[in-house]
Structure formats: C-alpha cells, structure tokens
Copies of this chain bind each other. A is one copy, B any other.
C-alpha cells in the first residue's frame, strides 16, 4: 500500500504533467492557428506556465518529499517515477531563477537576430549572441553538474544519462564508414524520375496522408493533422497533433513528414493508459523519439514493400501518377543528393549533416573553437563530409535555429535516432520474420504491435541504452544503420557497397 507521501508525490507529478500538456496545446496553437500579431501575448502565456511549473518543481515541498521517499521501499513503478522526478527536480532546483530568465530572454533576442542573420547571410549579426548564449549555457552546466565536460550537462537535457564520450566513439566509427559510403552512392549517376506535372489539390493530399496515418494506427479521434511551415508534433497526452506541409506540385512530398510526425505521435499515444500523467507515460529521450519517427518515415515509408501496397492507392488519389512507373516512383522517393540544407537531406547523407554540427558544438564548448572561427570550421568540415563547398553562411552554419535558441546538445539525438531506428528495424524483422510481407500486404499493425511491446509500453522505465539493449539484445551500434544503407542502395543502384 502506497504511503501518503508517495500519493502526494504522484499528485504533484500529475499536476506538472497537466501543465506540460497545456503548454503543448499552446505550442500547437502558436504554430498553426494563432495570428502573428498575438505573438507577444503568447510569450507571456508561455512564461507564466513555465514559471509556475518551475516554482512547483523546484519547491521545498518537492525536495522534502523526494528525500523522504528515497528512504522508503517503493514499487518498481514508484522507483521509476521517483528517479525521473528527482532528476528534473535536481536540475530545476540547481539552476538559479535569474539565470533561467536570462537564458530565456537571450533566446528570444538571439533567435530574432538569427532570423535577420540568416536572411542576409551575415554571421556577424548572430556571432555576439552565440557568444553570450554559450557563456550562459556554460554557467547552466556548472550549476547542473557533469562528469567529463560541461557539454554533457547540456546533452543530458535532451538525452538523459548520455555521455559525449560514448557519442564520440560511435560517431567516429560512423563517420569513418559513412563518408566513403555516401561518396560512393553520390558518385553514381542520378535518376531522372520526373513527377507528372500538375497541380495536386491540398484536400486530396490531406485525404491520402490522413488515411495513411490512420492505417499506421494514429488515433484521429483524439489527435489532429494540420498544416504548418515546419512540420512538428505537439499536444497533450493522447491528444497528439501533428502538422505537415504540402507541395501542390508533388503529392509524395507530404507523405514523409506525415509518416515522420505520425511515428512520433504513435509513441506519445502508445503508453499504457494507466500511466498517463507520470514518467511511465513519457518518452525515454529525444533519440528514442526520433528513432520512432525515422523508422516509420524511412525504413517503412521509403521501402519497396510499403509502396507495393500504397502506390496503387496513391495513384487512385492522384491519377496523373499512372504515367509514372512504380520503379521510377520508388527511385524518386529515395533520391540521394549532395545538398546544403539538413532538413532537405536524404537518409544517406543526413547523419553527416548531424555529425558536423556535433563536431562544431563540441569544439565550442570544449573551448577549442571560437565563435568567430565557426563559419570557416563549418565550411571545412562540410566539404570533407559532403564533398561540396558551402556557398554562403545562410546555407551553412546559419541554417538552423537550434543554437540561437540555446539548444546545444540537441543535434546528436537526430543521428542517434537514426542509428536506433536501424537497430529496432533489424530486431523487429528478426522477431517478426514476415514483416516485409505484412507491410507489402498493407498490414502496418504488426510493426506497431512490436513497437508497442518493445518500446512504447515502457515509458521512462529504462534509459535509452537500457531500452535498446532490452529490445534488440545489444547497445548502440551503428553497423545496423550502415548495413541497412548498403543493402538498400546497393540494390537500388545495382552496385556492390
């Protein structure tokens, strides 16, 4: 029987979760329906909600409860919840309120500066803000604490319990294998897979992707699909809301962001009912979240079995595609190109974009790189990894909002997500031997059931590394990702990789 203190902790945890859900709805609204003139008011709403959450999380009562419960015998569930709450409480109560506010204020000003800097491709407009932000984030790291490097404290915010020394090792191996592999693929002649010319109405595209994500298992009775400039997933508990962007000249364009965001959404909607409102119904980390989105987007959505079932449906929705053979369409959705912009990158080159960013931010926080040297360091690495020069900073180190927003330590989770996705995909195929056939027959539920059982139902019970070991039998291993690329692109180009 749970103690009164444990019940009080649960009540506080649930209230914090509820406030986080409210913030999720506000974020969704801000990026979909809120009119631009209301942005200053919305900033106040966000500040009020996060201020109240911080006040309640870092409160003395919370500290008292946590210290007392640590001495008590808790159930397995209780121990998971306590560990997750203690982690958040420790971080929240270690960082002074004034520093939190200063970071938040600097984020607003720096992202404004970034918008202008990127538009005009002038790094000097952003540089001083990045210096300030890095200084503040180093302070945050000192308060939060770390073992090896200040950077680890920042990484920990997005990827709990991860260490940069482990990421260094896996990225070094991945880089070593991926740079020549990508170069080999990129050196092959490209395909001329032209999309039939036409204007494909958004309503028909929305119908197709809504049907598809419903087939995936997305619960449309609770969640939504809308439009925004940059696709994202937000919401509250099982009220998960995803957004996509449509290209009226190419209806295949929206399919991949839709499957990506639906992959995130299936995770959020897939925790055990009774745990919602607690860390047992929360994602492990950003990398595990990303493994879910990338698995559906790439391993499923860009596969032959998937399109063998869905291309006929796609052609029904967009009859002009009857002119485009299935093989050409498959090549079209798997085109590999040298490109400057991360968000446009294909699955072969994407991790190179990420590892470059990781190298840059690690060097900045280790004091090995000055902010003023960042553009030239970026450009040098870019040519080394991708094989083409960077034409300007707008298409170089100014392209992403993350650093201006103070999100150092976020980028590596994208690549970790890709690696984990390949590991999970291999494990699922081993355990469900006819998985490809099922997907080819339009049955996406076999994969979802496997993910529910091996990933979703655990919530935060394990950390990322523990979860992957349990689900796949081994820890972080880039070989599955490399093997996946070799097999797929070898077959596609008819070359041996």
Which A residues contact B (CB, under 8 angstroms)?
15, 18-19, 21-22, 25-26, 29, 33-38, 41-42, 44-45, 48-49, 52, 219-224, 226, 236-239
Known contacts A15-B48, A22-B49; is-contact A35 B237 (Cβ 8 Å): no
The residue from B22, B33, B48, B52 contacting A224, defined by CB atoms under 8 A apart: B33
CA distance A41 to B24 in the complex (A): 13
Asked if B35 contacts A222 (CB within 8 A), the reply is: yes
Cα of A298 to Cα of B223 in the assembled complex, Å: 39
* A226→B32 CA distance, assembly (Å): 13
A480 to B26: give the CA distance in the assembly, Å: 44
B22 contacts A239, C-beta separation under 8 Å = no
CB-defined contacts of A21 to chain B, threshold 8 Å:
41, 44-45
**Closest CB-CB distance, A25 to chain B, in whole Å?**
6
Distance to closest chain B CB from A151 (angstroms): 35
Contact check, A239 vs B35: say whether CB atoms are below 8 A apart: yes
**In the complex the two chains form, is A221's CB within 8 Å of B22's CB?**
no
A47 to B, closest residue via Cβ: B18
Q: For A33, what are the chain B residues with a Cβ–Cβ distance below 8 Å?
A: 33, 224, 226
In the complex, which residues of chain B have a beta carbon less than 8 angstroms from the beta carbon of A42? 236, 239
In the complex, how many angstroms separate the beta carbon of A292 from the nearest chain B beta carbon?
21
Contacting residues, chain B, for A219 (C-beta < 8 A):
37
Which 3 residue pairs across A and B have the least CB separation, nearest first? A38-B239, A37-B221, A37-B222
Among candidates B45, B224, B237, residue contacting A41 with C-beta atoms closer than 8 Å: B237
State whether A48 and B18 are in contact (beta carbons under 8 Å apart), knowing that A26-B25, A29-B25, A239-B34 are contacts in the complex.
yes
A110–B225 alpha-carbon span in the complex (Å): 33
Q: A25-B26, A25-B45, A42-B236 are in contact. List 17 more A-B contacts (CB 8 A).
A: A18-B45, A21-B41, A21-B44, A21-B45, A22-B26, A22-B45, A25-B25, A33-B226, A35-B220, A35-B223, A37-B221, A37-B222, A38-B222, A38-B239, A41-B238, A45-B236, A52-B52
A24's nearest neighbour on chain B, judged by CB, is B45
A sample of 15 inter-chain contacts (CB < 8 A) reads A15-B48, A21-B44, A22-B45, A25-B25, A33-B224, A33-B226, A35-B220, A35-B222, A35-B239, A37-B219, A37-B221, A37-B238, A38-B222, A38-B239, A52-B52
Look across to chain B and name the residue whose beta carbon is closest to the beta carbon of A240: B38
Contact indicator A239/B41 (Cβ below 8 Å): yes
Given the complex of chains A and B, what is the CA–CA distance between A194 and B197 in angstroms? 46
Q: How far is the CB of A234 from chain B (nearest CB, A)?
A: 12
Q: Which residue of B lies closest to A56 (CB)?
A: B52
Q: Which residue in chain B gives the minimum CB-CB distance to A277? A: B44
Which residues on B sit within 8 Å (CB–CB) of A38?
222-223, 236-239
A51 to chain B, nearest CB (A): 8
A405 to chain B, nearest CB (A): 22
Rounded to whole Å, the gap between the CB of A236 and the closest CB of chain B is: 6
How far is it, in angstroms, between the C-alpha of A36 and the C-alpha of B223 when the chains are bound?
A: 9
Of chain B, the residue at the smallest CB distance from A28 is B29
Shortest distance between the CB of A404 and any CB in chain B (Å): 25
A15 to B52, CA, bound (A): 10
Contact among B48, B236, B237, B238 for A19, CB-based, below 8 A: B48
